Amino acid sequence: MNKNIKNLLLIIIICFTTVTFSQSSHTGKGKVIAVRFLELDAEVDTAEFEKFAYEVFNPAHEGTIPGLTEYVAKSDRGNNQGSYALFMVFDSQIVRDIMIPDKSMSEWMSKIFEEKNMWSYWNKLGTYVKDGSLGKYNDYVVLK
């Protein structure tokens, strides 16, 4: 067999084996749980904040954007009991990356926010938290 053909077959076998037996750490199919750690301003009335979360913010975000669930939650156990967080659960990593490419909202998602008046809820949320609080986050990809 020709040396070039042997080399080509070897390359094809290596590529096939790599693709078949390797597993990507992120397939893009796992849900993304984006956690924004909310630090309330010192003068904020927590009862007022919780009322806003229960009655305004959380209901406004329920089912508004396909592929995304958002809600404010309070820790009732663990190391930071009594702390608050904003959870954004995307259907997949692919969905998150389409909605928020490069850490900024896509144009079509911005339009949904404008049409549904979502910015008013986010602006109100911003009045309760310390400056920069919404910028403290981790996005967790469910390994699937």
Place of tokens 């007022």: 48
126 pLDDT band, cuts 50/70/90, is very high
Is the pLDDT reported for residue 110 higher than 60?
A: yes
pLDDT band at 114 (very low <50, low <70, confident <90, very high): very high
Where in the chain are the domains?
32-141
List beta partners, residue 85: 37, 73
pLDDT averaged over the chain?
Answer: 84
Exposed / middle / buried, residue 117 (Cβ in 10 Å: 0-12, 13-18, 19+): exposed
Contact (CB, 8 A) for 84 and 72: yes
**Predicted local distance difference test score (pLDDT) of residue 56:** 97
Selection from 125, 126, 133, 114 nearest residue 64 by Cα? 114
User: How far apart, in whole angstroms, are the C-alpha atoms of residue 67 and residue 60?
Assistant: 15
What is 32-141's CATH number, 3.30.70.100, 1.20.1200.10, 3.40.50.2000, 3.90.1150.10?
A: 3.30.70.100
Over residues 109-114, mean pLDDT: 91
Binned at pLDDT 50, 70 and 90, residue 127 comes out as very high
Q: Under a CB-based contact definition with an 8 Å cutoff, are residues 84 and 60 in contact?
A: no
Query: What's the pLDDT tens digit per position in 11-68?
Result: 454 434 334 433 444 577 889 999 999 999 999 999 999 999 999 999 999 988 999 9
